[in-house]
Amino acid sequence: MPTRLSFVCHARTEAQRLGRFPLDEPVEPKGLLKAAELALRLKKPVRILSAPETRAWQTAEALGGEIEIVPELGDLDFGEWQGVALADLQESEPELLAAWILDPTQAPPAGESVAALCARVGAWLEGFYEVGHFVVVTHPFVIRAAILHALEAGTASFNAIDIEPLSVVDLRLNGRWRLRF
């Protein structure tokens, strides 16, 4: 039996709705109801793997089942930009923001680069040897990194992927990682 990872993006947060870089904040109550509905459509996993942030484990709890917190699935560290609106950065630090968007090796001040995130997520995927179906509740940036790893694509494609709240992306391992729709 191959490995199947159903990556689920956490439910919507206030920061997402307002266009801010995330804090460790809860999901909006409406999102928890939608997550419970999503659980009915997902095949029962061996267990649910969750990023450590509140928004991820709240979504995981709404899906039901045994939950394991996995630090490697944590969101990109936005450093000094946590909680800051994208529009505010466009006004106050347009050069830094542009450099971060265009160059995956650039990091927000005191934060993590997209290249480092992709390396972290890729290493976790390469070290995951369990067989069966697992639901992985995490963040849009982490799911993007997992997709790039499965496709063996470069980080230059990172910003070409959009991940909506509660969307599901399946990766299967049977000799190599494959993206399945």
- Give the pLDDT confidence of 23-81 residue by residue, as tens digits: 999 999 999 999 999 999 998 888 999 999 999 999 999 999 889 999 999 999 999 99
The model's pTM is 0.97
Phi and psi at 175, nearest 5°, equal 95, -40
Give the Cα separation of 152 and 146 in Å (integer): 10
| pLDDT band with cut points at 50, 70 and 90 for residue 1 | low
The two beta strands, 47-50 and 132-138, are: parallel
- Give the pLDDT confidence of 145-181 residue by residue, as tens digits: 999 999 999 999 999 999 999 999 999 998 999 999 8
Q: Could you tell me the domains of the chain?
A: 3-180 (3.40.50.1240)
What is the number of other CB atoms lying within 10 angstroms of the CB of residue 105?
Answer: 11
Angle subtended by helix axes 54-63 and 29-41, to nearest 10: 50
- Buried b vs exposed e over 129-144: b needs ≥16 C-beta within 10 Å? eeeebbbbbbbbbbbb
**Cβ distance 24 to 54 under 8 Å?**
yes
In 21-131, where do the E strands start and end? Answer: 47-50, 67-69
- Give the pLDDT confidence of 74-129 residue by residue, as tens digits: 999 999 999 999 999 999 999 999 999 999 999 999 999 999 999 999 999 999 98
